[in-house]
Amino acid sequence: MLQTLKLFGLAIRKWWKEFLFLLALNFLWLLAQMTVILGPPSTVALYIVTQHVLDGSIVGFGDFWRAIKGNFVNSWIWGAAQIIVYSVLVYNLFFYWGKEGVYFLALRYAWTFLALTWFTINLYYWPLYLAQVDKRFTTTLTNAIKMVLLNPGYTIFYSLLALIFIVVSVFSGLLLGAVMAVWIALWGTLVVQDRLSTRKR
């Protein structure tokens, strides 16, 4: 679990080396989310560019744009899944929220657990997508689920820290616009690389 914190520190150090470019990239990603259509493509593009940063490669905004174009379809398959799954989860959470009784309380807990599980799976999704040859949605999703199941304690700690960071970023506003997406991408990529290297030993 301490390894997760070490990787977060490493992500920040990597970010610092390219902080001006990555600040602009994070803001560009935020603007892309507002267009909706560029939301998922800009997310995978962010992961691609941050992976280049981790590798020590020279990167620019052209790499970001090329990644958007090159992964547009695959990113929207993932994006459509997010819309469908989160719509079902949010609907059921709100539907059962005001109802009384042990049965409905259990349902609220169950849907909350499913929402957190889906969030956690998606923390692994794009780093695994970039690490594997087979880019199909089902393959990447299956591998993300396997990573959760093979690293339960590590995953719980990592996902809780990531969730806290995202919530703080959203409510602060400043972190959301300046660093949140880039830090999550850098950190998530390092976490997946660490888990994959551990499995190979």
Confidence of residue 201 (pLDDT cuts 50, 70, 90): low
| Site of tokens 């902080």 | 19
pLDDT score of 132: 95
pLDDT score of 77: 98
Alpha helices in the chain (DSSP H): 2-17, 19-35, 39-55, 61-70, 72-97, 102-131, 137-150, 152-172, 174-178, 180-200
The mean-pLDDT minimum among 58-72, 107-121, 170-184 falls in 170-184
pLDDT score of 34: 95
Mean pLDDT for the stretch of residues 35-61? 95
The mean-pLDDT minimum among 14-23, 76-85, 114-123, 171-180 falls in 171-180
What gap in Å lies between CA 124 and CA 122, rounded to an integer?
5
What gap in Å lies between CA 171 and CA 197, rounded to an integer?
35
Q: What angle do CA 178, 183, 187 make, to 5 degrees?
A: 180
Burial 130-145, CB ≥16 within 10 A → b, else e: beeeeeeeeebbebbe
pLDDT score of 200: 66
Examine the pLDDT at 103 and tell me if it is beyond 90.
Answer: no
Q: Residue 150's Cα: distance from chain center in Å?
A: 18
pLDDT score of 58: 86
Cα–Cα distances in Å, from 201 out to 4, 129, 154, 159, 197?
A: 18, 21, 17, 24, 7
- 3-state class (DSSP) for residue 71: coil
Amino acid at 71: N
Examine the pLDDT at 98 and tell me if it is beyond 80.
Answer: no
Confidence of residue 175 (pLDDT cuts 50, 70, 90): confident
pLDDT score of 63: 95
Q: Is the distance from CB of 162 to CB of 187 less than 8 angstroms? A: yes
pLDDT score of 196: 93
Cα–Cα distances in Å, from 85 out to 37, 79, 115, 179, 201?
A: 18, 10, 9, 27, 35
The mean-pLDDT minimum among 38-47, 76-85, 162-171 falls in 162-171
